[in-house]
């Protein structure tokens, strides 16, 4: 769709048939906006492997939008990963989001033959050559498990130089953190596109809980305004839509190569921002 910029939406595989049907309905609605691709997450330790695979294949074959499965190395053997890559390649999938992945609680640190995302990127390249466009994760505000920001920057550079084509960031609410991150990695010789990940604001309590867990900072002025609305869902959504729209405008004006929306399997919050920005369809 977009020659200069790319726009994409992310889903998570559901546990129920009803949830899956809702996901597909959301995907069909979003497909009318001609996104460049859909991505689909992969549970901790590969816990949603089969559901991710099935969802991706349906998005590709039935919804007719290119699908990009998340693939993580924690908890999977090389044989497991090789099998998944073979299935995706045979199905015509040509984009993968390569991640270290989260450990299921209680698993400990030693699991899987590959321990880091840069090793997974290298493995995909060794196994499949240039068949896949490889996305990696970027953390403008630092990965929550990183020792410090410098280590995290170095880790990103390793992943990128292992053979990645582009990156998608963790969501954030401070555009300056994105621009600073991009400037830092460019200075270290990494010039792959880094696409901002965008999380619409629809529910303050869930957002605060999720953000605390994944290390995404909610600026104090946003947090305090959302707290002030209490249970007024309409005001929360209206304020959130404006905050995210304004940030996206600034990101695009500042040269961001596109936007990647974390939909949480809902169409309307992301499309409200899309329509406010008057993005191409």
- Active-site positions read 10
- Buried/exposed code over 24-43 (b: 16+ C-beta within 10 A; e: otherwise): bebbeebbebebbbbbbbbb
State the DSSP code for 92. Answer: T
Task: Tell me how far apart the alpha carbons of residues 143 and 174 are, in angstroms, rounded to a whole number.
Answer: 16
State the DSSP code for 171. Answer: E
* 90: its two tokens: 């045979």
Q: Are strands 67-72 and 95-99 parallel, antiparallel or unpaired?
A: parallel
Note the residue count of the chain: 281
CB atoms within 10 A of CB 140: 25
Q: Please check whether residue 10 is in contact with residue 40, taking contact to mean a CB–CB distance below 8 angstroms.
A: yes
């Amino acid at each position: 769709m977009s020659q200069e910029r790319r726009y994409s939406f992310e889903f998570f595989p559901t546990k129920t048939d009803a949830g899956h049907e809702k996901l597909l309905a959301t995907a069909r609605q979003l497909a009318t906006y001609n996104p460049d691709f859909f991505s689909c997450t992969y549970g901790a330790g590969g816990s949603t492997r089969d559901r991710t695979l099935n969802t991706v294949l349906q998005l590709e074959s039935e919804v007719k939008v290119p699908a990009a499965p998340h693939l993580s190395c924690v908890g999977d053997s090389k044989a497991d990963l090789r099998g998944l890559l073979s299935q995706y390649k045979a199905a015509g999938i040509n984009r993968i989001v390569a991640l270290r992945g989260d450990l299921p609680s209680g698993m400990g640190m030693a699991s899987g033959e590959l321990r880091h995302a840069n090793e997974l990127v290298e493995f995909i390249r060794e196994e499949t050559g240039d068949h896949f466009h490889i996305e990696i994760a970027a953390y403008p505000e630092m990965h929550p498990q990183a020792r410090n920001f410098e280590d995290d920057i170095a880790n990103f550079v390793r992943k990128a130089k292992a053979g990645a084509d582009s990156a998608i960031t963790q969501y954030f609410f401070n555009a300056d953190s994105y621009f600073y991150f991009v400037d830092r990695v460019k200075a270290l010789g990494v010039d792959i596109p880094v696409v901002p990940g965008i999380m619409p604001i629809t529910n303050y309590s869930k957002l605060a809980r999720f953000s605390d867990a994944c290390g995404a900072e909610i600026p104090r002025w946003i947090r305090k305004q959302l707290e002030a609305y209490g249970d007024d869902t309409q005001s929360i959504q209206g304020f959130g839509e404006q905050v995210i729209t304004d940030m996206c405008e600034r990101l695009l004006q500042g040269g961001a190569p596109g936007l990647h929306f974390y939909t949480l399997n809902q169409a309307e919050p992301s499309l409200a921002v899309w329509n406010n920005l008057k993005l191409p369809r």
